[in-house]
Structure 1
Amino acid sequence: MALYSNPVLDADWPDPDAIRVGDDFWMIASSFNRAPGLPVLRSSDLVTWEHVANALPLVPPVDHYALPRHGSGVWAPSLRHHDGVFVIVYPDPDHGIYVLTATDPRGPWSEPWCLIPGRGLIDPCPLWDDDGRAYLVHGWAGSRAGIKNRLTVVEVDPGLRQVVGSPRTVVDGDELPGFRTLEGPKLYKRDGWYWIFAPAGGVATGWQTVFRSRSVWGPYEHRVVLEQDATPVNGPHQGAWVDAPDGSDWFLHFQDRGVFGRVVHLQPMRWEDGWPQLGEPLGHGRGRPVLKHPLPVPARGDEQQEPVRSDDFAAPALAARWHWQANPLPDWYEAPGDGALRLRAQVSARGDLRDHGAVLCQQLPGRPSTWTTRVTLQGAAPGTRCGLALLGREYAWVGLVRTPTGIDVALRRSAGVAEDSLAQSPAPGGAVDLRLALDADGTATFSWRAADRAGTEAWHDLSSAWSAVEGHWIGAEVGLFAAAPPGSPVGERGGALFGPVRVTVAGKDA
C-alpha cells in the first residue's frame, strides 16, 4: 500500500485553507506583506501540490504596502466555491476584511473589496446556509483590537458586499478552561449542525478544537480533536476540512517549524459519535498527528514533491513562485524570457535589506537545499551591490559590490541596524556564480566562484556557517536583490543580471 509522509508541504505555507471542486483540490495560504500575495496551489491527491497562481497582484491599500510592512497584510484567508464562483475572504488586521472572486482559481481574480473595515478583525470564513442567507465567522487580534480569544459571527449579504446584521460573540475562549488565543475559525454545516473548526493555544504550542451547535448563533459545545501528544508535530492546528471523491474526509493543517515557517500536514478524518476524529485516535475524541498514512487517492501515484523552485527565466514575466517584500513598481525588473532576470538597483535608504521592498524571494524549503545562480553587476555608483540573500529578522547575503576601484565579492550580515562585513575581496570580473547551501537545521554556507571558470574552479566558501533566522510570522526566505546607495545618480545605479536559479532540495532538483 502506497504511503505519504508528513509534512506534505515542507515549506512556509501559513494558515492553509482548502476545498475540493470536482477532482481538483485547491489551497490558499497567508502571504502577509509579500506581493504578489494569496498563493493558489492545486493538487489531484492532497499530497503533491503545484503553485499555479497568486490571487492578489498588489496588496491593498497599494500605497501603504509600497514599503515592507512585516507581519501585516494578508493574514489567515478562507477559500470557498459558491454558485460556480471561487471566493477568497481574507483579513488585513490593520484595515479590515476583504473579498475577491474568480471563475477559475488560476485567475484572473477580481479586484478585492472591503466587506468590513476596521482594525483587529482576523481569520474570516463565510458560510452560505440552506435558506440562502450568509454568515461570516472571524476572530480578533489583541494587538489591534484590544480583545482576543473569542469568535464572532455576523450575517452578511450573500454577495459578501455588506453586513446585514449585528455581530455576536458565539464562543468566548476566556470562559473555556485552559483556552488562550482562540482564532483561525472555519465555518461548515453538516447534518443540521453548524461546525466551527478553530485552533487555540498559540501557533507553536496549541491544539485543534471543533465546536458544534444546532444554531449558527450557538450555544456551541466543543472537543479538542488534535494535539501534539508524543509526536514531533507541535501546534497541530488551523487548517481545512476537505472531502475526497470517494467520500473520505481529510484535514490539512500547519506545524510551526521556526526558520522553515508553517509547514502543511495532512490528517485522516473520520466521524464517530457525531464528532470528527482527526489523526491517530487517543481516546475521548482526541487524536494526534500521523507521520505516515495511506494515500488519499492511491491511483494518483505515491511520490511527494515540492512545488517547482528552479527558474531558467525562459518564459516572459515572473513565475508564480516569486514574490517581493512590498508592492513592486514596473521598473523594478525585466523578465523578457531570454534566460535572464534583470533587477534594477533600487535605493536602499538605510542599506538594510529588511527595509528593501525590491528583494525577490521564495520560501526556504524545510529540508536541506542548495541554491545557485550567476550574477553580473551593472552600474557605476560606488556602493551599488547585488546578490543572493537569506532573509529574516536577521539576514546575510553573498554577492558583488561596486567600490571606487572596481568590483568586490562580499559576504555581509545584519543582526541590527548596520550590515557587518564578514568577507570581501576583489572579484575576477563583473560576473560570478553564487551558492547558498543550507542543512536540516537551517545553517547556511555561502560560496562563490568565477563565472568564466565555472567548469574548472572549485567553490570558495566564505567565512563560517551562519544560522537562518525566521521573519515576522513567516519562515526565512531566499532572495535576489540589487540595491543602490542613497544619493546615487539615476543613470549610474544600474542593477544586476541573474540567471538561471537552480535549486536542489534534499538531493532532488526542485
Structure 2
Amino acid sequence: MAVQAQEKIINPVLPGFYPDPSICRAGDDYYLITSTFSYYPGVPIFHSKDLVNWQQIGNILNRPEQLDVEGLGVSRGIFAPAIAYHDGTFYMVTTLVDKGGNFVVTATNPAGPWSDPVWLPEVSGIDPSLFFDEGGKAYILYNSDAPDNKPLYDGHRTIRIQEFDYKNLRTVSEPTILVNGGVDISKKPVWIEGPHIYKVNGYYYLMAAEGGTSVNHSEVILRSQNVTGPYIPYENNPILTQRHLPNDRPNPVSATGHADLVQTQNGEWWSIFLATRPYDTEDHYNIGRETFLAPVTWKDGWPIINAKHEEVQYSYTRPNLPEAKLSDFPLNGNFRYREDFTASELPMYWMMLRTPRSNWYSLSQPTGSLSMEVRPEELSGKGNPSYIARRQQHLEGSASTRMKFNPASKNEIAGIVAFQGEKNYYTLGKTISKGKQVVQLRKADNAVLAEETLSRKESKKPLQLKIAFDGGKYSFYYTTNEGDWKLLKADVDGTYLSTRVAGGFVGVTLGMYATSQGKPSASKAEFEWFDYEGNDDIYKSTSTTMK
C-alpha cells in the first residue's frame, strides 16, 4: 500500500461535501465536525492528533430520535454545527432548519453516544456557537434577523449573544446585538454568519463570515475588552478571502470563509474553513463546499489566515505536533477505496437521504453484499429512498458497483446514481423497457438519455455499472464481463450537477439506489461491492490505494 507523504498538510483536509467546519481541542486531541443538511446520519465527527491525519470516529446525530429531517429538501435540515469542549464535556450546537430550530447535544466521549437534543427556543437564528469564558460563564452567539426585523437591504443580518447556563443547557439573558450588518454597515455587507469568540491576551475576538457562502465569501474579525462589546473591526478586514483573484487562475480555491480557529498545545494557531474548487471560470463546482486548513499569523494583535500567500495553498508545512497514525480509510489526496460489504455494519462515511423509519437494507442477506429493498420512494421526493451513498471527493475519478437485480416491471430500476438534489441527478440502472431488460441512463425528470438492451445471457449475469467524472463531464459505462466496460453515453453535461445550476448547499453524492417509482414491490437489489477512485491532477504524486 502506497501512503501519502506526511511532511505536509494536503488540502482540502476533508474533500467533497464537508462544509461549515468547526474545531475544538481537548488536551492533545483535536475534533472537527461539518454540516450534513438532510443527510443521515448527521454531523460526522473526526479526530486528529496532528491536524494532518484525520479519522472519522462517529456521527453525532446517529439515532432517529436525534434527527428528524423527514419531508425536508436536501439542502435544509442541519446547518453549521459548532463543537466546544469544557471541563470534561463536549457540546455541539446547531440549527435544524424548517423543523425545530436550534438545539444542543452533549457527550463525555466524542465518539458517542451523544445525548438527545435539548431545544433552545429563545435562540432565534442560525449558526450558533458556544464560548466558555473565564470565571464559569458561558455564552451562545448566532446569526439573527436585522434589528427590530427591519432589514435595510437584502442580506442584512446581525450577530447576537446570550448568556448560556451550560449545566442546565438553557439561556439566562436577553439577546445583545454584537454586530449589525457587518464590519461596515455603510457598505451594506451581507450575511454576517458563522460567529465564534476567542479570548486572547485580554481581548475577546469575534470572528464571522461575511459576503455569503459563494464567490464573495470572506472571513472578518473584530475585538473588544468585554464579551458583550462594543466590538471594533480590524482595519484590514477581511482576514481571509479569495474573491479578488482572477477566475482563470490555475487550480482555483474559491468562496473561502466560515472559518474557525484553534491553538495547538505548542502555541501555533491554525484555521479550518470552507472553500470550493470550481472547474471552470463560470464557478461550476459539483462536489460542494470542502474543509481546508491553513496557518494563522498574529500581526499587531490580529489573527490573519494564510498571511504568507495570496492564494490558499494545496499544501502547507505540517504543524509542530507529533505525527499521528493514518486513517483506516483515505480522506484526502488521490485514493482508491473499495467497499466489499463484509463488515456487520456500514462504515461511518456512508449516508442516506433523511431519517430511516424501517430496516430496508441488509449486510447479512447474503453476507458480503448490500441487499436493498426496491421501495416506492424516489430521489425526487422528500422521504427516505433506498439510496446509500458516499461523497464525490474529486474533480476527476470514477465510482462503480456490481449488482444482481431482476426487475419485475418497468416501474423498477436499481443501479448507481450521481445525486446533487431532488431535481438534479443521473441514474444509471437496470430496468425493463418494451418487455426486455435494459441498461438505462435517466435524468431526475425521468428523461431517458441512453438505453441498451441486454441479451438473455447478459440479463442473467451480475451487472457492473460505472460513472466516470471529469469536471463538467460525466460518462456512463456498463458490463457483464469483468473489466470489459462498454460505453453507454460519454460526456454528459456535468454542470447540471453543479451548485451553480442546482442551487442548495450540498455536493454530489454517489451511491446505490433502488426504486419502484411509487408502486408496491417485493423485489430486492443486491450490491456486491462499490469502488471509488479519485485522480485529480493536483494530487498525482500522492496516491493511495486501500481496500
Alignment TM-score, normalising by the size of structure 2: 0.83
Q: What CA distance in whole angstroms lies between the structure 2 residues aligned with 1:448 and 1:12? A: 27
Shift of 1:499: 2.2
Corresponding residue for 1:469?
498
The one-letter code matched in structure 2 to 1:170 is L
Shift of 1:413: 1.4
Corresponding residue for 1:395?
425
- Asked whether the equivalents of residues 437 and 444 of structure 1 are also in contact (C-alpha less than 8 Å), the reply is yes
Shift of 1:127: 1.3
- Asked whether the equivalents of residues 53 and 324 of structure 2 are also in contact (C-alpha less than 8 Å), the reply is no
Are 2:510 and 1:478 equivalent residues in the alignment? yes
Are 2:251 and 1:220 equivalent residues in the alignment? no
Corresponding residue for 1:203?
213
Are 2:106 and 1:104 equivalent residues in the alignment? no
CA 1:454/1:324 → structure 2, altered by over 3 Å: closer, same or farther? same
Shift of 1:426: 2.4
Shift of 1:454: 1.4
- Asked whether the equivalents of residues 80 and 88 of structure 1 are also in contact (C-alpha less than 8 Å), the reply is yes
Are 2:526 and 1:502 equivalent residues in the alignment? no
- Asked whether the equivalents of residues 208 and 226 of structure 1 are also in contact (C-alpha less than 8 Å), the reply is yes
Corresponding residue for 1:254?
274
Shift of 1:130: 1.2
- Asked whether the equivalents of residues 116 and 162 of structure 1 are also in contact (C-alpha less than 8 Å), the reply is no
Counterpart selection for 2:21 from 16, 19, 24: 16
Corresponding residue for 2:467?
436
The one-letter code matched in structure 2 to 1:75 is F
Q: Which secondary structure state, in structure 2, belongs to the residue aligned with residue 106 of structure 1?
A: coil
Counterpart selection for 1:460 from 480, 486, 507: 486
Shift of 1:89: 0.6
Corresponding residue for 1:341?
370
Shift of 1:115: 2.0
Shift of 1:301: 7.5
Corresponding residue for 1:279?
306
Task: After TM superposition, list the pairs within 5 Å mapping 1:55-454 onto structure 2.
Answer: 55-58=60-63, 65-94=69-98, 95-116=100-121, 121-140=125-144, 148-159=156-167, 161-173=169-181, 175-178=184-187, 179-204=189-214, 205-223=216-234, 224=237, 225-228=239-242, 229-230=244-245, 232-257=252-277, 258-281=285-308, 289-297=312-320, 299-300=322-323, 305-306=330-331, 310-336=338-364, 338-348=367-377, 352=380, 357-378=385-406, 380-393=408-421, 394-402=424-432, 405-414=435-444, 417-426=445-454, 428-430=458-460, 431-439=462-470, 441-450=471-480, 453-454=481-482
Shift of 1:485: 3.1
Q: After superposition, what is the alpha-carbon deviation per residue over 1:227-262, rounded to whole angstroms, capped at 9, x for unaligned?
A: 214473322211221122322110111113331111
Q: Which secondary structure state, in structure 1, belongs to the residue aligned with residue 254 of structure 2?
A: coil
Corresponding residue for 2:280?
none
RMSD: 2.7
Corresponding residue for 1:493?
522
Q: What CA distance in whole angstroms lies between the structure 1 residues aligned with 2:321 and 2:128? A: 33
Structure 1 spans left out of the alignment, 5+ residues: none
CA 1:426/1:356 → structure 2, altered by over 3 Å: closer, same or farther? farther
Alignment TM-score, normalising by the size of structure 1: 0.89
Q: What CA distance in whole angstroms lies between the structure 2 residues aligned with 1:114 and 1:358? A: 30
CA 1:395/1:162 → structure 2, altered by over 3 Å: closer, same or farther? same
Structure 2 spans left out of the alignment, 5+ residues: 1-5, 278-284, 536-542
Shift of 1:70: 2.0
Moved over 6 A (4+): 301-304
Q: What CA distance in whole angstroms lies between the structure 2 residues aligned with 1:128 and 1:273? A: 25
Shift of 1:88: 0.5
Shift of 1:22: 2.8
Q: What CA distance in whole angstroms lies between the structure 1 residues aligned with 2:482 and 2:381? A: 28
Q: Which secondary structure state, in structure 2, belongs to the residue aligned with residue 131 of structure 1?
A: helix
- Asked whether the equivalents of residues 288 and 508 of structure 2 are also in contact (C-alpha less than 8 Å), the reply is yes
Give the total of aligned pairs.
491
Q: What CA distance in whole angstroms lies between the structure 1 residues aligned with 2:150 and 2:357? A: 35
- Asked whether the equivalents of residues 280 and 288 of structure 1 are also in contact (C-alpha less than 8 Å), the reply is no
Q: What CA distance in whole angstroms lies between the structure 1 residues aligned with 2:145 and 2:512? A: 33
CA 1:3/1:345 → structure 2, altered by over 3 Å: closer, same or farther? same
Task: After TM superposition, list the pairs within 5 Å mapping 1:33-52 onto structure 2.
Answer: 33-52=38-57
Q: What CA distance in whole angstroms lies between the structure 1 residues aligned with 2:229 and 2:256? A: 26
Q: Which secondary structure state, in structure 2, belongs to the residue aligned with residue 219 of structure 1?
A: coil
The one-letter code matched in structure 2 to 1:88 is M
Q: What CA distance in whole angstroms lies between the structure 2 residues aligned with 1:170 and 1:60? A: 34
Corresponding residue for 2:282?
none
Q: What CA distance in whole angstroms lies between the structure 2 residues aligned with 1:108 and 1:399? A: 37
Q: After superposition, what is the alpha-carbon deviation per residue over 1:76-102, rounded to whole angstroms, capped at 9, x for unaligned?
A: 011011110111111123221111111
Q: After superposition, what is the alpha-carbon deviation per residue over 1:196-250, rounded to whole angstroms, capped at 9, x for unaligned?
A: 1101011122211111111111110112211214473322211221122322110
CA 1:378/1:245 → structure 2, altered by over 3 Å: closer, same or farther? farther
CA 1:111/1:301 → structure 2, altered by over 3 Å: closer, same or farther? closer
Q: What CA distance in whole angstroms lies between the structure 2 residues aligned with 1:460 and 1:83? A: 59
CA 1:255/1:160 → structure 2, altered by over 3 Å: closer, same or farther? farther
Shift of 1:419: 3.3
CA 1:263/1:437 → structure 2, altered by over 3 Å: closer, same or farther? same
Shift of 1:480: 1.1
The one-letter code matched in structure 2 to 1:463 is K
Percent identity of the aligned residues?
A: 25
Shift of 1:322: 0.8
